[in-house]
Amino acid sequence: MAAAVLAGCATGPADKAAQESAADRVMAAYDVPDLLAQAAPAVTQSLNQNLPDDVDTTTRSALRDAVYEAYDPQTLQQDVLDRLRDAAARDDQQRALMSAADALHTPLATRMIALESATGDPDFAANFKAFVEQPATPERKERLRKVDMLAENMKVVELQTDFNVTLLEAMIRARNEASAAEYQVDNSRVEQMVAETRADIGNKLEQRVPLMLLYVYRDVDDSTLSEYTALQNQPELVWANQALKNAIIDTLSAASDRVSENFTPVSS
């Protein structure tokens, strides 16, 4: 603790500003604000589907307000930024964070990351299915090997798994806050549900994500794909991707705790 305090005192305003800028640029490169903005609607929609029927409209509205306050996008963004910057200081990776920010804003990285937005296209599912059903040639197997490494270094599966599981647990705990005792899920059952969901989602994503990346990068030549794989394999990017994933999940977990603080049960 003393070392951390001394390190903080030795860090000047300019250094903090540079680290905050680097953290912000990493978040922007990966469209983290858009991801965080999905949290409140996702938790609310799940609550609407799972709250007991006897929870009245007034209580539902109060719970919704508590969720949206806890998962306010601007608050989440600042929390992730602070956690990412603090992780760089704690791990002595300030230079790595700035190098990662620079790397993610190169033409190569911006082009490759932009291709991933294709997963939101209306025809994506049908086109992806047709692509997956094509014969697995040696060339395709080699590209899949590179994409597997990309997915691992970018922490795509871990992030998507933890994102969904964290919001599921948040929904269950928020549901408990608004439900009568007989409808509440006890802690041991919550842990069991979370573990089962984590295993199920994780297994599915481990199989699906590399194939999805293989599809969205289908028109990228082998040389460019190799170059991007090497970029994401740099120690600075590997550290930044892991630190960013941790910052996002820790932020969402903290927001889940705030739901209980913000929610006041309505007296009958």
Which tens digits make up the pLDDT trace of 119-148? 777 888 888 889 888 888 899 899 999 999
Residues 36, 55: Cα–Cα separation, whole Å: 28
Residues 252, 166: Cα–Cα separation, whole Å: 7
Q: What is the pLDDT of residue 48?
A: 92
* Rg of the chain (C-alpha set): 21
Which tens digits make up the pLDDT trace of 215-246? 999 999 999 999 999 999 999 999 999 999 99
Work out the pLDDT band at 266, boundaries 50, 70, 90.
Answer: low
Q: For the whole model, what pTM was predicted?
A: 0.89
Q: What is the pLDDT of residue 265?
A: 75
Q: What is the pLDDT of residue 18?
A: 80
The structure tokens listed for 130 are: 């047709």
Residues 244, 50: Cα–Cα separation, whole Å: 31
Q: What is the pLDDT of residue 166?
A: 95
* Closest listed residue to residue 34, CA positions, set 174, 175, 163, 128: 163
CA distances from 24 to 105, 154, 192, 193, 221 (A): 12, 17, 36, 34, 30
Q: Are 102 and 21 in contact (CB under 8 A)?
A: no
* Residue 235 burial class via C-beta count within 10 angstroms: exposed 0-12, middle 13-18, buried 19 and up: exposed
| Span 162-181, average pLDDT | 93
Q: What is the pLDDT of residue 13?
A: 52
Residue 5 has pLDDT above 50, yes or no: no
Q: Are 228 and 112 in contact (CB under 8 A)?
A: yes
Strand (E) or helix (H) holding 91: none
Which tens digits make up the pLDDT trace of 64-97? 999 999 999 999 999 999 999 999 999 999 999 9
Round to the nearest angstrom and report the end-to-end CA distance of the chain: 48
Residue 99 has pLDDT above 80, yes or no: yes
Residue 10 has pLDDT above 50, yes or no: no
More confident residue, 2 or 233: 233
Which tens digits make up the pLDDT trace of 192-211? 999 999 999 999 999 999 99
The stretches of the chain forming alpha helices (DSSP H) are 2-10, 13-29, 32-37, 39-50, 57-70, 73-90, 94-104, 107-115, 124-132, 138-154, 156-178, 187-216, 222-232, 235-262
Instruction: Name the percent of the chain lying above pLDDT 70.
Output: 94
Phi, psi for residue 123 in degrees, rounded to 5: -95, 10
Residues 177, 94: Cα–Cα separation, whole Å: 41
Residue 9 has pLDDT above 70, yes or no: no
Which tens digits make up the pLDDT trace of 26-72? 999 999 999 999 999 999 999 999 999 999 999 999 999 999 999 99
Q: What is the pLDDT of residue 2?
A: 33
Residue 187 has pLDDT above 60, yes or no: yes
More confident residue, 73 or 10: 73
